[in-house]
Amino acid sequence: MAATISMLKGASNSPVGLARSEENVWIKRGLIIVTLLFLGFFLFLPLAAVFSAALEKGFGAYFASFDDPDALAAIKLTLIAAGIAVPLNLVFGLAAAWLIAKFNFAGKSVLLTLIDLPFAVSPVISGLIYVLLFGLQGWFGPWLAEHDIKIIFAVPGIVLATVFVTFPFVARELIPLMQEQGSDEEQAALVLGANGWQTFWRVTLPNVKWALLYGVILCNARAMGEFGAVSVVSGHIRGMTNTIPLHVEILYNEYNFVAAFAVASLLAILALLTLVAKSLVEWRARQELAAALEPTMIKD
């Protein structure tokens, strides 16, 4: 929520000078050591454990874990779910951000709270609500059964649950940025004769591209890694309705630890790539901001 928004702003434009940190040098060192120990224990150790357990029996056993049709089916399903969820929420994010940033209307703050709602809902409940709608005993259950449409314990349910849990990601990154930017540039474009779509493509989109990219990266990471919600609607049918995280669970519960951690390491690599991409996007956004703030005189 607010935390992810502030991430983009980063530790950029702070006027931190040496004069401000005036603690005793030992307190300072102590706090740095506490930070390193705490993060080492809670962040570095789990990450290292994944790769260590995956490679416990060597690279041969590691790569053999992926030579399994069920693992490949899980990877394929995860790509499908993310491939549908991310574009849907991207379009929604743009529409919602345009609406909220460019217009003043009654009920705006209620709308903002409702967009955040999926963040407040437990992943398990996110799955449950779709079971209540489309499950056999659900609202539409009998109708769906009559028409031989399967949503729960099938791919559509997994896609729906993924769309739900990743719903606010793009919108949450775009809204604060577009609110801050206001609509002066758009108004100028319109006055100069551009139509609405031209204004959107040529003015708004370039202004928000880094936040947009960041939202998409976060949305994708969550879509590929979601476990609880997908677990409820999937039915765990091997080779059919298993995503990568569910496949990890099955392997782990079968005490097939090397394979479980090997498949998990794929997701860990994805997480690390997400963090790298996030840092790059922040860096680019900061550079552009700095370039924009630079007085034009210095440029020529």
Map the footprint of other proteins across residues 101-160, applying CB under 8 A: 102-106, 111, 113-118, 120-125, 128-133, 135, 137-139, 160
Residues 45-74 that bind other proteins (CB under 8 A): 45-47, 49-50, 53
Three-state SS string over 235-298 comes to CCCCCCCCCHHHHHHHHHHCCCHHHHHHHHHHHHHHHHHHHHHHHHHHHHHHHHHHHHHCCHHH
CA nearest neighbour of 79 among 202, 292, 290, 243: 243
Single-letter amino acid, residue 273: L
3-state secondary structure of 106: coil
Minimum CB–partner distance for residue 300 and other proteins (Å): 33
Per-residue tokens: 33: 């050591």
Return the CA Rg of the chain.
23
CB of 40 to other proteins, least distance (A): 9
Give the binding-site size for other proteins (rule: CB under 8 A).
Answer: 112
Rounded CA gap, 219 and 210, in Å?
Answer: 14
**Could you say whether residue 164 binds other proteins (CB under 8 A)?**
yes
Give the binding range for other proteins (CB under 8 A) out of 57-65, 206-214, 270-278, 289-297: 270-278
Q: Which amino acid does the sequence have at 67?
A: D
Nearest residue to 244 via CA among 254, 278, 255, 259 = 259
99 lies in the binding site for other proteins (CB under 8 A): yes
Minimum Å gap between C-beta 20 and other proteins is 5
Question: With respect to other proteins, which residue has the nearer C-beta, 16 or 297?
Answer: 16
Q: With binding defined as CB under 8 A, does residue 186 bind other proteins?
A: yes
In terms of CB distance, is 38 or 143 closer to other proteins? 38
**102 closest CA partner among 35, 18, 186, 223:** 186
Tell me how far, at minimum, the Cβ of 150 lies from other proteins, in Å.
Answer: 17
DSSP state of 56: T
Longest C-alpha distance within the chain, in Å? 74
In this structure, is the dihedral angle defined by the CA atoms of residues 253, 258, 263 and 265, taken in order, positive or negative? positive
Given 187, 205, 288, 290, the residue binding other proteins (CB under 8 A): 187
Q: Which stretch, 62-70, 206-214, 249-257, 284-292, contacts other proteins (CB under 8 A)?
A: 249-257
CA distance 67 to 63: 7
Q: Which stretch binds other proteins (CB under 8 A): 38-46, 62-70, 172-180, 289-297?
A: 38-46
31 binds other proteins (CB under 8 A): yes
Q: Which stretch binds other proteins (CB under 8 A): 60-68, 142-150, 241-249, 284-292?
A: 241-249
Binders of other proteins among residues 190 to 229 (CB under 8 A) are 190-191, 195-196, 199-200, 218, 221, 224-228
* Closest to other proteins by CB, 62 or 164: 164
Tokens of 34: 């506490």
Counting contacts by CB under 8 A, is residue 23 touching other proteins? yes
26 binds other proteins (CB under 8 A): no
CA–CA distance, 99 with 88 (Å, rounded to integer): 17
